[in-house]
Amino acid sequence: MVNKKMVMIPGPTPVTKSIQDQMGREIQAFGDPRFVNDYKQLIDELGTLLNCSGITFPLAGTGTLAMEMSLSNVTKRGDNILIISHGYFGDRFAEIAERKGLKTDVMHSEWGKIVPVEDIESKLREKHYAAITVSHVDTSTGVLAPIAEIGDMMKRFPDTLFIVDGVAATGGEYTDVDRMNIDILFTGSQKAFGVCPGMFILWASKKALLRRKELGIIPEYYVDFEKWIPIMENPAMYFATPAVNLVWAMLEATHIIMNEGYKARAERHIKNARAMQKALTSLGFTILAEESHRASTLSNLVYPNGLDDAKFRGSLYEEGITVAGGLAQYAGRMFRLGHMGNIDMNDEVAVLGVIERALASCGRDIEFGSSIGIYFSEMSK
């Protein structure tokens, strides 16, 4: 019998049956009062879930489009911007900013570490920045940025907007837009919300909306806040076609989070991640991110000496589990395992079992079940 296939990359993540069912529903016109009502409900509930008193934009597009949308609406050509990069996605933000003609300063951390908050503060004292960007979790390194602490520090720089890339975090790592002093937060449907790819959600604070107004006409069209605000306030209006089935799927995913409770869900992510990380280290992998800044949504596992990336991941794939490879300087030296969204203990145990079998088929000396024992004893603490 062929093993069940599991997609354990850091997005797309497994999509549960009730969410799949929403994707498979018969289409409705975007002006159908039933759909308008569902879209309105999604916008309102997502705003409440993330405690955003500004406007929430759930739109068709991916996380990268949300990155563009965030910069387009609060900066103009020639503005200074500070990018905090904890890896590949921080660097992507710098590339987008440069193309937009922003005067871009990038603070890099060594992979696995964070840029200390004090260093960010000193940099902000050097000159005026229109905005600063931080990835909540950088998927290339599995590093978790101290968003709440940075948000607190940003209160001393009220003219600099705080943009958070929550694509591999929001819905898994706890986030509160207003309390964390975030001006723009965004995520993609396919990560910790556990929905198919194709939608992003962007939360904008009142301050971000005000900044957008001050800019007048901006060059971008599809991602312009001003174009979308009337639709977010009344989804019976048209600007560009909403991704109807993704709206339903996101609504179901949002209800799953609300029923679990966002705080409880974030705590579950932390507990599961610590258990997975302990189990995986026992098999010889090293976690790239420093312990104090480790994401709960994924693990970036550096190989023990002599383990071949292609052979190991190939063997996992044959057994039914897809994981992601390392990026940039970690290509071939690491694999990335997503453990976010709507997955449970049984899924995680299955993954550990397959990893043990793959290691054995790569010639490693493995005591079968050992990592699963460690996982269970951590989970029962």
Ligand X SMILES: *Cc1c(COP(=O)(O)O)cnc(C)c1O
Which residues form the interface with ligand X (CB under 6 A)? 11, 62-64, 89, 135, 138-139, 165, 167-168, 188
Nearest CA to 200 out of 356, 19, 46 is that of 46
- When the beta carbons of 183 and 356 are compared against ligand X, the nearer one is 183
Nearest CA to 253 out of 306, 201, 323, 326 is that of 201
Q: How far is the CB of 171 from ligand X (least distance, A)?
A: 12
Q: How far is the CB of 140 from ligand X (least distance, A)?
A: 8
Whether the link from the prior residue into 158 is cis, omega within 30° of 0, is no
Q: How far is the CB of 48 from ligand X (least distance, A)?
A: 24
Distances (CA, A) of 12 to 37, 91, 101, 168, 365: 27, 21, 32, 10, 32
Indicate the DSSP class of residue 365: -
Q: Which tokens in the block code for residue 28? A: 């409705």
Q: How far is the CB of 134 from ligand X (least distance, A)?
A: 10
The beta strand positions in 166-306, using DSSP E, are 184-188, 199-204, 286-287, 298-302
- When the beta carbons of 56 and 133 are compared against ligand X, the nearer one is 133
- When the beta carbons of 85 and 135 are compared against ligand X, the nearer one is 135
Q: Any idea which residue has 């409900």 for tokens?
A: 41
For the chain, how far is it from start to end, CA to CA, in angstroms?
36
- When the beta carbons of 131 and 372 are compared against ligand X, the nearer one is 131
Q: How far is the CB of 336 from ligand X (least distance, A)?
A: 10
| Contacts with 122 (C-beta within 8 Å, 6 or more apart), sequence order | none
Rounded-to-integer distance, Cα 46 and Cα 186, Å: 11
Cβ neighbour number for residue 340 with a 10 Å cutoff: 28
- When the beta carbons of 47 and 338 are compared against ligand X, the nearer one is 338
**Pairing state of beta strands 334-338 and 324-325?**
antiparallel
Q: Which tokens in the block code for residue 267? A: 């705590």
Residue, CB closest to ligand X:
63
CB-CB contact of 194 with 16 (8 Å) = yes
Q: How far is the CB of 135 from ligand X (least distance, A)?
A: 5
- When the beta carbons of 283 and 295 are compared against ligand X, the nearer one is 295
The amino acid at residue 267 is E
- Cα 278 to chain centroid distance, Å, stands at 23
- When the beta carbons of 277 and 300 are compared against ligand X, the nearer one is 300
- When the beta carbons of 83 and 283 are compared against ligand X, the nearer one is 83
Q: How far is the CB of 197 from ligand X (least distance, A)?
A: 6
Helices marked H in 88-146: 88-99, 117-126
- When the beta carbons of 138 and 356 are compared against ligand X, the nearer one is 138
Q: How far is the CB of 340 from ligand X (least distance, A)?
A: 10
At how many degrees (to 10) do helices 370-379 and 262-282 cross? 150
Q: How far is the CB of 85 from ligand X (least distance, A)?
A: 11
